Structure 1
Amino acid sequence: MAKAKTQYICQNCGASSMKWVGRCPDCGEWNSYVEEVISAEPARRQGISNASTPKTIGQITSGDRERFDTGIAELNRVLGGGLVKGSLTLISGDPGIGKSTLLLQCANNISMKYGTVLYVSGEESEEQIKIRADRLSAQAEKLYIVSETSMEIIEEHIRTIKPQFAIIDSIQTVYSDKVNSAPGSVSQVRECANALMRVGKTIGIPLFIVAHVTKQGELAGPRVLEHMVDAVLYFEGERTEEIRILRTMKNRFGTTSEIGVFEMAEEGLIEVYDPSRIFLEDHMDSKEGSVVIGIMEGTRPILVQVQSLVAETKAVIPRRTSLGIDTPRLNLIIAVLEKKLRIPFYTSDVYVNVVGGLAVEGTSQDLGLALSLVSSAKGKEMKHDRILAIGEIGLTGEIRPVNHVERLVSEGVKMGFETFVIPKRNREKIKQKNLHIIAVDTLKEAVSLLF
């Protein structure tokens, strides 16, 4: 019998070394190498199919039209239209954010519509899951629950029950007897994910696996896990707030720019079909340091409120704090305001917040952000109420056009906005009549017209 060997594996990126090193040469992480035992048994073939035969592309049937409807429209939107047969989807998020709640609701809906569904939990007992199911009214007759952490037994359950859909909660608690490392290690996560991928592809069932996150909010475990799965979803939001955002980080079957919006309630997660109304509520009137901006999340226009606070400071280095806005983008806008409008921000702390906890991406929020900073710095409100600002700011102070401005304006009209500040080069795209539109070319022009 061959003697088992050991090697050191980075728990962050999965790199291996025959000896321990303090800092991983691949990812730069400190003290991440852990000694793991390498099985002395010869490696077995681990292909997706033992009888694979090359086919022409015309002989292959597309599975895009055979997607599973999860019964949750916001989840279907994020997935690209539903679950694809044989797909492996990874969902992560902070503890207590609602991952298990969302998946149990999804499992109940699929079971009621398509048949057998298997929910495997490695963290909770069957009784604990039953308590949550009663609260969510998840009582599908063919929804099977099992508490198990052995990969071999889980695979046997899947092949025996032959479910239409399966959930593994979570991948960090599952272990395989083929690997001598502890559950959650790089070797165990890789082996268990490989086993689940083989089962899902060969039987043709979609699988959802839950993964933990680190203190920094990043996906725990090796990066190889993200490369193996077909889709990576991230569930974000503050546990003290009711709004939850489901965002796509990777999707082989759809776009990665869509988001799903949910509201946490006693009876579970409720879909939010009109997120602009949730994020704005009663904040449409102009106030000092407050401006409503329009952004596109995939195919969905969303209006959110940006609040800025510019406070004088005696500190040598002023503080720049932003929540929901990229800090480098904030620094860029402040630099343009200082250079082109001569507004001294170097003696003030600047705080920026996007109401509702949404992380804003892109450049269409630049004009609204700049106007909120000017409003707080000057201590003045804008001349008009119910203003929607859309536009990108260049380094020379010009207001550059943005995409989908007509859809953002239409969303503003639906929400009751009366004044729209947009780039002048986007003015011709607005076909609606009887709108108060302020088209501007430069940031200086916009400030002079609004203050």
Structure 2
Amino acid sequence: MAKDKTQYICNECGGSSPKWLGKCPHCNAWNTLVESAAESTAPSKNRFAALAKTAEVTTLADIEATDVQRTPTGHDELDRVLGGGIVEGGVVLIGGDPGIGKSTLLLQALDSLQRSGLKTLYVTGEESGAQVALRSRRLGLDGSQVSVLAEIQLEKILATLDATRPAIAVIDSIQTVYSDQLTSAPGSVAQVRECAAHLTRAAKASGTAIVLVGHVTKEGALAGPRVLEHMVDTVLYFEGDTHSSFRLIRAIKNRFGAVNEIGVFAMTEKGLKGVSNPSAIFLSQHSEPVPGSCVMVTLEGTRPMLVEIQALVDSGGPSPRRLSVGLDRDRLAMLLAVLHRHAGVACMDQDVFVNAVGGVRISEPAADLAVMLSITSSLRGKALPKGFLAFGEVGLAGEVRPAPRGQDRLKEAAKLGFSVAVVPKANLPRKNDKAFDGLTVHGVDRIEEAMELARSLA
């Protein structure tokens, strides 16, 4: 028998090559070419003909456009990440580690939407209908009227969507779906790309909102080509530690809302429950202030959150260590140099460890001031006062620069009962603003002023 022809497809860009190469010739990514069966070159009807629609050139001024209508899912934290709710005809891709709660959350959301009067469909390719029913009973969704379809063939799924016309459909997962038009196996680059393209087009044509569940690789990226993320309207990542009951959903891309929004959930016996005050997770409960601890206010999308920064400075050897968890390690080295040059605090022979409590990742430079104050507090063995917080970016010249939306950060701190804040002068609140009652705010221009002020308050 003649050997079947094969080709190599890039996981990153979807480009093909007749032979294996270490580097993709299209996007220059390394070790991304995967072997798959070559498609037949026999003349046949173009499988993309249904995707192409005749359109005319129109000016922007002549196009009627209205704000998109959003349908709340019944879960406030999920709605926050989505930008207010599900959009008609929108396509959402949600990825995360196995067992983190993707299917659980989507089943809960579908049940809430079904009870509100919307028609829903749950397409499962990894479980049987009985397994989904058992999970719904474990979650306490008794008497749920969510429609379930156990199917992995794309053509049958599209036919069901066309016949039932649900308001929202979940495809769990896109890696299990395959099309008869292709000879490659389910989960291959070609299958994932084409199935996602057809489902996206079906959503836009019918108005059905579709949620695609995606697997992730061991590096944490969504499995399949990166073009999958470009096809959809919204990309969400489910994050969390298996040893913790808390889960985070982070928006990486959203055509209908703000990116970098996060939703916080707690895993319970009855499924995932939204956490309305996530600041409580990221703050340690000390009965008395301890050295090396400083609270800051970080922004995740539109939400201000209080996070505790902890530092431990200990005597090191000839090559001291600098280790940070949840913060940029290179930025920590830069802050230590600024601390030495402009504030006279030397840590050259000390090990420095910095941690953001609760497993949160802080990427914004507004954490600089809190990191430097916590390091100084640990080095001197003196705790900052109770109810103290700080935020602000620190430059190489020792200046303290303002942080965006400083008023919102201070309002969140005042609401949670903090009493003293050290912030950049540009972030000082207006006088006689009652929103900051009980919070004494000190403005600083340079890191030396901040250090002197912290010593006087300690």
Please give the TM-score of this superposition, normalised by the length of structure 1.
Answer: 0.92
Q: Does 1:435 align with 2:439?
A: yes
Within 5 Å, give how 1:20-99 maps onto structure 2.
20-25=20-25, 26-30=27-31, 32-41=33-42, 42=44, 43-46=46-49, 48=51, 50=53, 52=55, 62=65, 64-99=67-102
Aligned to 1:148: 151
1:418 aligns with 2:419: yes
Q: Distance in 1 between matches of 2:387 and 2:251?
A: 32
- Give deviations 1:257-308, integer Å, cap 9, x for gaps: 3211111111111111111223226248531111100112222211111111
| Corresponding position: 1:8 with 2:8 | yes
Paired amino acid for 1:346: M
Separation of aligned partners in 1, 2:454 and 2:355: 22
User: What is the DSSP-based 3-state SS (H/G/I as helix, E as strand, rest coil) of the residue aligned with 2:205?
Assistant: helix
CA distance in 2, matches of 1:136, 1:352: 39
Aligned residues: 447
SS at the partner of 2:89? coil
Q: Give the match for residue 135 of structure 2.
A: 132
Asked if residue 394 in structure 1 is aligned to residue 395 in structure 2, the reply is yes
1:308 is aligned to 2:311 = yes
Q: Supply the distance in 1 between the matched residues of 2:367 and 2:343 (Cα, whole angstroms).
A: 19
Residue 18 of structure 1: aligned partner? 18
Give the gaps of 5 or more residues in structure 2. none
* Alpha-carbon separation, structure 2, partners of 1:98 and 1:61: 40
Q: CA 1:109 to 1:49, structure 2 compared with 1: closer, same or farther past 3 Å?
A: farther
**In the alignment, what sits opposite 2:386?**
385
Q: Deviations over 1:93-129 (max 9, x none)?
A: 1112111111111111111113321111111121221
Q: Which amino acid aligns with 1:67?
A: R
TM-score (ref. length: structure 2): 0.91
SS state of the match for residue 413, structure 1? Answer: helix
- Alignment equivalent of 2:171, drawn from 159, 168, 184: 168
Deviation at 1:65, TM superposition (A): 4.1
Instruction: Give me the whole-angstrom Cα distance separating, in 1, the residues matched to 2:180 and 2:418.
Output: 61
Amino acid of the residue matched to residue 122 of structure 1?
G
Q: Alpha-carbon deviations, 1:28-78, whole Å to 9, x = none?
A: 322633243113344333454646566665776646442222111111111
Aligned counterpart, 1:354 = 356
CA distance in 1: counterparts of 2:405 and 2:430, whole angstroms: 9
Determine helix, strand or coil for the equivalent of 2:149.
strand
Note the aligned Cα RMSD (angstroms). Answer: 2.3
Higher deviation after alignment, 57-66 or 327-336: 57-66
Q: State the SS of the aligned residue for 2:365.
A: coil
Contact 2:323–2:353 (CA under 8 A) maintained in structure 1: yes
The structural deviation recorded for 1:321 is 2.5
Native 8 Å contact 2:414 2:438 kept in 1: no
Q: Distance in 1 between matches of 2:180 and 2:258?
A: 37
Instruction: Tell me how far apart the structure 2 counterparts of residues 438 and 184 of structure 1 sit (CA, whole Å).
Output: 56
Residue 280 of structure 1 aligns to a residue whose secondary structure is coil
* 8 Å contact kept, 1:257–1:297: yes
Q: Does 1:275 align with 2:278?
A: yes
Partner of 1:114: 117
Q: Cα gap change, 1:295/1:386 in structure 2, threshold over 3 Å: closer, same or farther?
A: same
Which residue is 2:453 aligned to?
449
Contact 2:12 2:29 in 1 (8 A): no
Q: Mean alpha-carbon deviation: is it higher for 256-265 or for 424-433?
A: 424-433
Q: Which runs of 5+ in 1 are unaligned?
A: none
Cα distance change on mapping 1:319 and 1:176 into 2, 3 Å: farther
Q: 2: CA distance between counterparts of 1:205 and 1:61?
A: 21
